[in-house]
Structure formats: structure tokens, C-alpha cells
Structure 1
Amino acid sequence: MTVLLEARLGPAVPHDEEIPMNKTPDVDVDRRAAADQDFAAARELATGDEAVELADRAITTYLDELGDVASAAQVLWFLGRLEDARGRTDLAAAQLRSAVEGFVVTHDDRATEVADELVALLRRTGQEDRVEEFLAWQARLLGTVTGEQTAGRRRAP
């Protein structure tokens, strides 16, 4: 399943390309402030469609205008929790998976915490088959980003 980050940014960056580690690009301060304000307002509202709209707007600004994957992943994590609380578990799972991807490609340790939350969500909702699918996907993603070869896959010459 291709998720939000990949849809906006393309597939995961191969391990031999430089990936900024938790560094924010030199950006327009006003855009960053607006995205930060949208995210703060979404967290304050914490429920409802308005919170989702503000968070979506923050994600768009972080990704499309600022190129800040780590901040977008943080908002996706928030959205995943919000959608889970609203009972929208499929949407929550997609948001959490996107957050994991964003944190992995930026080498952010929060990827593990979000992955654990996603696995717990899937198990809680009786989706053990999706747990196995997610864990296999995560292993492939980690192998792509770190350069480690995943079993059954061969690195291109």
C-alpha cells in the first residue's frame, strides 16, 4: 500500500543518497510558523474535522513547501492517533504507517514507537494478517534506507 509520504515524495530514498537527519531545510520562516500554528491548533482541538483539516494543511506545508519530512511525520502520527480515537482504524493505520516511513527515512528513533502503536492497533482490531504485512514492509523499508539487504531481495549492482 502506497501511503501519503510516498504519494507526495516518491519512493523511499536509496541508502547511498544523502538524507538529512532531523535537519530542517533553510526555509521561509513565515511558512514554517504557519505550519507550526496549524499543527498546534489541530492538537488543541484534538477532535473533529477541523483538527483533521488543520493537520492536513500542516502536512502539506511541511512536505510540499518546506520539504520537512520529520515534521510531517510528527503530524501524521498525531492524525493516526486522532483517527484511532474516532474509530477510523483503517485511516489511522494508514496515517501511522506514513509516520513510520517519514521517521525511518529521516533516521528518527520515533519510528519504532509509532510502529509499535500501529502493531498494537492492528492486533487490537483483529488484523493479524496486516501486522505480518506491515512488519515485512518495515523490514524492506529499513533495508532500503540503511543499505542492509533484506532476505529474498538483491541489491541492484
Structure 2
Amino acid sequence: MTIQLDSAPTIGARKATEVVTEFFNAYRRRDVEAMTDMCTDNADFSYIPFEVWAKQRVMRGDGKVRTVGKVIWSGLINAFPNLFNVVHHIDGNDDGDVVVACDIAGTQQSAWAFIAPQGQPFSEPHLFIMHVNPEGLIDSIRAYWDNAGVCRQLGHLEVD
């Protein structure tokens, strides 16, 4: 006798990559509201290299899209008004997992974290690992990049 377990619903690779492609299109338009609306209310957010050290605390890029993510995206767009991305590769599976290799670039016009504006451009490869749920909403965003490379390009060299 064979027992078949109900499997969790899936979204399909094509639909998952379409959702994430539209997310990056909204990012390219610098439309934080559209980016946020494409995510669940409780979507996880983790920008692994992101840290801002203050006198008595450290702000890390971990939390939820609608709190930490929205603040980081809005801050980036404010500091880099021409912020854009170029997607080089996007791949997904039927479970809704999507991997994106892209470059994010822009020219700094105002302060970003503790980096004073010097009018310098940056362009840095990023890797995003995202998940799209069966309803077609993003419920997890993780990103990786070389933060020291970004700082170097912006002329911010920190010495302890």
C-alpha cells in the first residue's frame, strides 16, 4: 500500500521568475512602494553585508521588508538618485526559489549611512536569493555583495 502525502502548493519556476523580474523593474524605477507591495506583509529581509555603526548600537540589514527593507531602499534611492540595476541572470525553481545575479550602481549625491557624498559612482555585483510564495508574493529576500568594494568606490576608507 502506498500512502501519498499532500504536497505543499507550488508557484512554478516561470511565475516565480516573472514576479522577481517585475520586482527588479520596480527597483530600477526606484518605486519602493511597488517593491514593497510585491512582498507579503511579514516578508523576511536580510542584506547580509549591511551594517551601520552608531555610538551605542549597530543597525544591521536584518528584519522585515516593510520595516528594515523599506528604510534601506528609500535611503539608497535618496542618496543615489540615479540608482539602477542590471540583471545578468535570473533562475527559479517550481518551489518559488529565485536566484538573481545583478549589478547595482549609482552616483552618490547625499550622505549614505556614514559615507559623506563625494559625487562618486559605484557599481557592484550583487547576489539575491528570494522566495515567492504560491500566491505570487515575495516572502523572503537575502542579498550579498562586497561592501568594502562599494565603500572603496565611494572614497570611504575606514581605519580603526
Assess same fold via TM > 0.5: no
Larger Rg: 2
- Provide the TM-score with structure 2 as the length reference: 0.28
- The structure where strand makes up a greater share of residues is 2
Could you state the TM-score of these two structures normalised by the residue count of structure 1?
Answer: 0.28
| Structure showing the higher helix proportion among its residues | 1
